[in-house]
Amino acid sequence: SAAFVLPTKPQDIMQLSFEAADGTSTSIREFLAEACCDAFLVVHNGRVIAEHYFNGMTVRSHHLLNSVTKSFVGMLAGIAVDRGQLDPSSLVTRYLPELDSAAWQGTTIRHLLDMTAAAQYTEDYADPETDFWKEAAVVGWRPALASDKTPRTLLDFARSLDGQDMENGSRFQYRTVCANVIGMILERAMGARLATLLETEIWCRLAAQHDATIVVDSLGFPYVGAGMNACARDLANFGLMMINDGAFNGRQVVPAEWIADTVKGDSTSKECFAQGAYGDDAPGWHYRNQVWVTAADPAVMLAIGIHGQYVYMDKGRDLVIVMLSSQPQPFDEALDLRTMAAMSAVGSRLEATSSR
């Protein structure tokens, strides 16, 4: 199908100043420089109102998305659930009997989707020996960590985990391995290779202008925890689909019920998040179906990746912001808070100017 090209209606928002969480005032332009931004795209009321590229990036450049990738696999799960191919309340072992081990005992698909699975797995980006980097070594990202003992595949890595460090479903604990296991389960449940499913069920239906690429393990299984690369405009299409109840360009991509469920969460979502590592920094937020959801009313959905990758999805304001960056730190709390403040300020400004 033909690529979908958004109409443009440029506005100058680079001079817009906003107050960060620490009380300092800065402009969007200054913020983007500080945030090591490579691509910044703002779509409001279905039109591109700002599009800026830096550091050699162009409209055709692919950028690593890191954990923004997870939101794609979370939405693919919704398609499988809608078709009766996947039951979120089922145990992981129903689909992946290979994970019949202490690490995955009692873990359901729902636990994986909401990052409340109990498998012991450390994700401290500052620690070179953390499980996250050991898993990344399986797909060649950390050659120094690879050895004769390194699992050959992402499935072998998931099988190598030992034990649990909490109760399943008790709190939000961000573990990239959960997204990869969801991907493995979707292959079995939907009866096709994961890369093919992501392409045919989501990417092609977003009428993207460019292909997306993804890092794979030695068997060609996609690293859906963090390995996708794409262009900013095509990510905006994903965001528009999300804020349009799963529909894009006249066709339903993801079931509307799954988007609604993502935004609403269940009775334990906010409590689990509050118990987790980000509970104090993001009060009232929750994490559902591999998507971050804010406490704002109406809520804003976010796909977020380390080193400064964001798809900010605000249905209430008909706003999607894509920001792709090369920040030196995987996670910079102060910068993260400033990013949220910047995006919120852009939304407020556009809402005010469009209602005049």
Catalytic residue list: 67
Write out the two tokens for 46: 């279905």
> What is the C-alpha separation between 275 and 218, in angstroms, rounded?
37
> What is the C-alpha separation between 117 and 121, in angstroms, rounded?
10
Contact in structure between 59 and 232 (CB atoms under 8 Å): yes
Place of tokens 């332009």: 29
Quick one: which of 97, 180, 92 has its CA closest to 131? Answer: 180
Contact in structure between 42 and 346 (CB atoms under 8 Å): yes
Contact in structure between 207 and 253 (CB atoms under 8 Å): no
The residues, any chain, with a CB within 8 Å of residue 247's CB and separated by 6 or more, are 241, 253, 256
> What is the C-alpha separation between 89 and 110, in angstroms, rounded?
6
Q: Strand pairing of 309-314 and 247-248? A: unpaired
Sign of CA dihedral 236, 242, 245, 251: positive
